[in-house]
């Protein structure tokens, strides 16, 4: 799933290429594409795109005081629509512009979770942005702010980092990379981290976000998950570039926790006995 750096760089690309262009129309292609009834998307027609922003992992296409919030979820992509065919493959929704160009939201696979919300006025606090924690790049590099956000979340740090209500913008890949860089066990209790551990986490978060954003800004389009920089994510069996140990994995149904035992757990091999007795 694209995370904060991928969405941020994509928002910047879209702003550079499309800001100032007048909206000619919006058409949901699937029944579930449009998640809101009011305001109607047509209220943005005739207005110029102010710019494309981001909150958490959500893109915000703003036309004056009407915004389209676009959640790509796992397999969604928002791209220039060269063909503008009647039934585009994987098509979810299309924005057409006064200059004849169009943007197409597509979703790979069959999950059909990507969607569009039309919002009037200030977007903060409205679905799908309601309940989001601060953006990861706001608390990254700021141990005091991060400590405040993590306080009271007595759960494994890997899961807390991915909880959008706690910190917005971090997903599976960044959670793996941030824990590794901070030399923290992904199973460490977020509420019980010592001050030096929170400081390491804040610094790791900042450098992982910066690296990914720099990489993503160097591209013409959003990277695929395999292309993104990293040291442990989806690298089980490979050599840890920091210490030379082998990168390990704890497998879950929907994601994998990757870590280095030497760097992060004092050599202890993690097994999850809370979800599966077979992983011991
Ligand atoms: Zn290592």
Query: Which class for 51: exposed (0-12), middle (13-18), buried (19 or more C-beta within 10 A)?
Result: middle
Q: Each residue of 24-33: pLDDT tens digit? A: 999 999 999 9
Res. 181 pLDDT band, cuts 50 70 90: very high
What does the block give as tokens for 104?
Answer: 């197409």
Distance CA 127, CA 67 (A): 12
The CA 269 to ligand 1 mean position distance, Å, reads 13
The CA 184 to ligand 1 mean position distance, Å, reads 11
The CA 176 to ligand 1 mean position distance, Å, reads 13
What does the block give as tokens for 232?
Answer: 């442990």
The CA 113 to ligand 1 mean position distance, Å, reads 36
Residue 275 neighbours by CB under 8 Å, 6+ apart: 252
The CA 205 to ligand 1 mean position distance, Å, reads 17
Residue 263 neighbours by CB distance under 10 Å: 23
Residue-by-residue DSSP string for 137-180: HHHTT-HHHHHHHHTT--SBHHHHHH-TTTSBS--HHHHHHHHH
Quote the pLDDT of residue 273.
64
Is the model's pLDDT at 276 over the cut of 60?
no
Listed residue (122, 125, 105) closest to 32, CA to CA: 105
Residue 63 neighbours by CB under 8 Å, 6+ apart: 23, 44, 47, 48, 49, 50
C-alpha count within 13 angstroms, C-beta hemisphere, residue 264 = 30
Q: Each residue of 92-110: pLDDT tens digit? A: 999 999 999 999 999 998 7
Give φ, ψ of 133 to 5 degrees: -75, 180
Quote the pLDDT of residue 277.
45
Q: What is the mean pLDDT of residues 118-143?
A: 97
Q: Each residue of 38-49: pLDDT tens digit? A: 999 999 999 999
Distance CA 19, CA 40 (A): 21
């Amino acid at each position: 799933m694209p995370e904060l750096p991928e969405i941020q760089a994509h928002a910047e690309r879209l702003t550079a290429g499309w800001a100032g262009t007048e909206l000619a129309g919006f058409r949901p292609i699937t029944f579930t594409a449009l998640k809101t009834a009011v305001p109607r998307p047509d209220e943005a027609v005739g207005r110029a795109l102010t710019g494309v922003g981001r909150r958490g992992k959500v893109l915000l296409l703003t036309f004056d005081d009407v915004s389209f919030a676009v959640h790509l979820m796992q397999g969604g992509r928002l791209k220039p629509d060269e063909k503008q065919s009647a039934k585009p493959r994987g098509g979810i929704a299309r924005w057409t512009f006064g200059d004849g160009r169009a943007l197409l939201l597509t979703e790979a696979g069959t999950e059909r979770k990507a969607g569009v919300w039309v919002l009037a006025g200030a977007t903060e606090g409205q679905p799908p942005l309601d309940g989001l924690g601060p953006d990861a790049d706001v608390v990254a590099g700021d141990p005091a702010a991060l400590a405040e956000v993590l306080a009271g979340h007595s759960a494994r740090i890997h899961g807390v980092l991915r909880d959008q209500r706690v910190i917005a913008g971090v997903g599976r890949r960044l959670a793996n990379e941030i824990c590794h860089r901070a030399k923290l066990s992904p199973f460490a209790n977020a509420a019980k981290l010592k001050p030096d551990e929170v400081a390491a986490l804040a610094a790791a978060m900042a450098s992982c976000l910066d690296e990914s954003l720099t990489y993503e800004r160097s591209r013409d389009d959003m990277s695929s998950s395999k292309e993104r920089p990293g040291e442990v994510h989806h690298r089980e069996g490979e050599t840890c570039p920091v210490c030379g140990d082998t990168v390990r994995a704890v497998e879950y149904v929907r994601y994998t926790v990757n870590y280095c035992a030497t760097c992060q757990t004092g050599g202890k091999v993690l097994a999850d006995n809370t979800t599966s007795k077979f992983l011991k």
